[in-house]
């Protein structure tokens, strides 16, 4: 098992050896959009991983962590007891501070039946020049349980990060799963997102992905939702912007496999400069009472909106950036 630590208090006590690493991770957490002060609240469950070290693992009633160091990362199990309802989100922080390196996160999430929880996850690689982060997650949302998982990334200014998040998610009968993946700060680097979600009877899955590529960034999003139970519902909503020579590809697949299943895929991509974007939706229906729809739009920013903002004193680049960030919100 890994060394597990608590965030040091602001007292004058001598700081332990790992405190410097933890303080640096807190700054990386802030750069990724998180609030480090939230990690010090005793009522908040918190897990902080830097490279292959667990710096913080703070449990609260109903929420449990297990973690084990690997040569280049951590294997973690996170489970929430049935009927647990939390007022505060569970905070996760994953990161790698050096300019070069690799990190593997093997994560298992188990949300007990009728539990209702939120996760705020921040992944930060602020100094990355040659960094590869690989995430393999398995997530189970129990019967009538609800999981909201918000994940925000910061990859620094250099574009030297390869991030490969893969997840298999099972939503059991009456369960509700909502996830938002956001990568709009700094450079993307190379993103390869691959999610598979299976939805049981009367379950709901909603996947939102937002990314903003610049320079020679590459973005590949693959999302598969199989609506396997009667009355299952699924939605994928993708918002991608690419400029300069960045490239994006979005592959979405939704299967309607049961009576009353309803699915929809919604993709909007904005292209500027020499960038390139593609969208490849695939609809599969295996039951005559299921329905799946899709819509996609690829193009540049609205010229009227651009001119309006420029008339108010913004440069063209500032106006474009404001429009794109509005789309991401």
Going from N- to C-terminal start, the domains of the chain cover: 62-83+99-117+126-302
pLDDT tens digits for range 137-191: 999 999 999 999 999 999 999 999 999 999 999 999 999 999 999 999 899 999 9
Q: What distance in Å separates the CA atoms of residue 270 and residue 327, rounded to the nearest whole number? A: 9
pLDDT score at 18:
59
Q: In what order do the strands lie in the sheet with 247-256?
A: 63-70, 73-80, 100-111, 130-141, 161-171, 190-199, 218-227, 247-256, 276-285
Confidence of residue 19 (pLDDT cuts 50, 70, 90): low
pLDDT at residue 56 tops 70: yes
Q: What is the mean pLDDT of the chain?
A: 91
pLDDT score of 197: 98
pLDDT tens profile 88-103? 999 999 999 999 999 9
61-66 mean pLDDT: 97
Whether 306 has a pLDDT exceeding 90, the answer reads no
Q: C-alpha distances in angstroms, 323 versus 66, 108, 317, 329?
A: 43, 37, 10, 10
């Amino acid at each position: 098992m890994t060394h597990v630590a608590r965030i040091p208090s602001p007292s004058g006590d001598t700081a332990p050896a790992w405190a410097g690493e933890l303080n640096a991770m807190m700054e990386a957490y802030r750069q990724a959009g998180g609030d480090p002060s939230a990690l010090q609240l005793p009522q908040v469950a918190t897990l902080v991983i830097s490279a292959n070290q667990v710096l913080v693992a703070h449990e609260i009633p109903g929420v449990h962590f297990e973690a084990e160091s690997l040569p280049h990362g951590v294997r973690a199990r996170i489970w929430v007891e049935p009927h647990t309802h939390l007022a505060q989100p569970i905070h996760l922080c994953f990161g790698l501070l050096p300019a070069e390196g690799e990190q593997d996160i093997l994560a298992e999430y188990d949300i007990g039946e009728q539990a209702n929880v939120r996760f705020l996850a921040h992944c930060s690689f602020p100094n990355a020049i040659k960094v590869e982060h690989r995430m393999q997650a398995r997530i189970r949302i129990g019967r009538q349980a609800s999981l909201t998982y918000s994940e925000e990334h910061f990859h620094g200014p250099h574009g030297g990060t390869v991030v490969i998040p893969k997840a298999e998610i099972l939503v059991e009968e009456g369960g509700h799963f909502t996830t938002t993946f956001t990568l709009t700060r700094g450079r993307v680097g190379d993103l390869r997102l691959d999610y598979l979600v299976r939805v049981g009877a009367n379950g709901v899955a909603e996947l939102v992905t937002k990314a903003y590529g610049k320079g020679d960034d590459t973005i590949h999003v693959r999302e598969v939702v199989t609506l396997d139970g009667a009355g299952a519902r699924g939605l994928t909503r993708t918002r991608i912007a690419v400029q300069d020579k960045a490239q994006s590809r979005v592959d979405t697949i939704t299967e309607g496999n049961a009576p009353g299943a309803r699915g929809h895929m919604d993709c909007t991509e904005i292209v500027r400069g020499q960038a390139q974007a593609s969208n490849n939706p695939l609809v599969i229906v295996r039951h005559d009472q299921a329905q799946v729809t899709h819509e996609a739009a690829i193009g540049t920013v609205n010229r009227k909106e651009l001119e309006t903002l420029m008339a108010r004193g913004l440069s063209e680049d500032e106006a474009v950036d404001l429009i794109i960030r509005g789309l991401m919100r």
